[in-house]
Amino acid sequence: MRVALITGITGQDGAYLAKFLLAKGYQVHGMVRRGSTLPFERIADLTEKITLHQGDLLDQMALNRLIERVQPSEVYNLAAQSFVPTSFDQPILTGEVTGLGVTRILEAIRTVDTNIRFYQASSSEMFGKVYEEPQRETTPFWPRSPYGVSKMYGHWMTVNYRESYNLFASSGILFNHESPLRGTEFVTRKISYAVAKIVHGQQSELRLGNLDAERDWGFAGDYVEAMWLMLQADTPDDFVVATGQKHTVREFCRLAFERVNLEWEKYVVVDERFYRPADVNTLCGDPSKAREELGWEPKVSFEQLVHMMVDEDMKRVKAEIKLAEEQA
The contact set with ligand GDR (CB under 6 A) reads: 82, 84, 123-125, 175-176, 185-188, 190, 208-210, 213, 215, 249, 274, 276, 279-280
Helix ranges, the chain (H): 12-23, 60-70, 84-89, 91-94, 101-112, 146-165, 187-199, 220-232, 249-258, 288-289, 302-327
By CB under 6 A, tell whether 290 contacts ligand NDP.
no
Give the binding range for ligand NDP (CB under 6 A) out of 66-74, 84-92, 131-139, 174-182.
174-182
Min dist CB 23 to ligand NDP, Å, is 18
Min dist CB 179 to ligand GDR, Å, is 11
Residues known to be catalytic: 123, 125, 147
Count, residues in the chain? 328
Q: How far apart are CA 53 and CA 63, in angstroms?
A: 10
Question: Crossing angle for the helix pair 249-258 and 302-327, nearest 10 degrees?
Answer: 60
Give the binding range for ligand NDP (CB under 6 A) out of 77-85, 163-171, 257-265, 282-290.
77-85
- Residues 285 and 216: beta-carbon distance below 8 Å: yes
Give the binding range for ligand NDP (CB under 6 A) out of 7-15, 18-26, 198-206, 290-298.
7-15
Q: Is residue 208 classed as helix, strand or coil in its secondary structure?
A: strand
- Residues 282 and 214: beta-carbon distance below 8 Å: yes
Say which entry of ligand NDP, ligand GDR, none residue 10 contacts (CB below 5 to 8 A, set by partner kind).
ligand NDP
Min dist CB 328 to ligand NDP, Å, is 30
DSSP 8-state secondary structure symbol assigned to residue 244: S
Q: Which of 4, 18, 28, 97 binds ligand NDP (CB under 6 A)?
A: 97
- Cβ neighbours of residue 180 under 8 Å, at least 6 residues apart? 189, 192, 308, 309, 312, 313, 316
Binding residues for ligand NDP (CB under 6 A): 7-8, 10-14, 33, 39, 56-58, 78-82, 97, 121, 123, 174, 176-177, 183
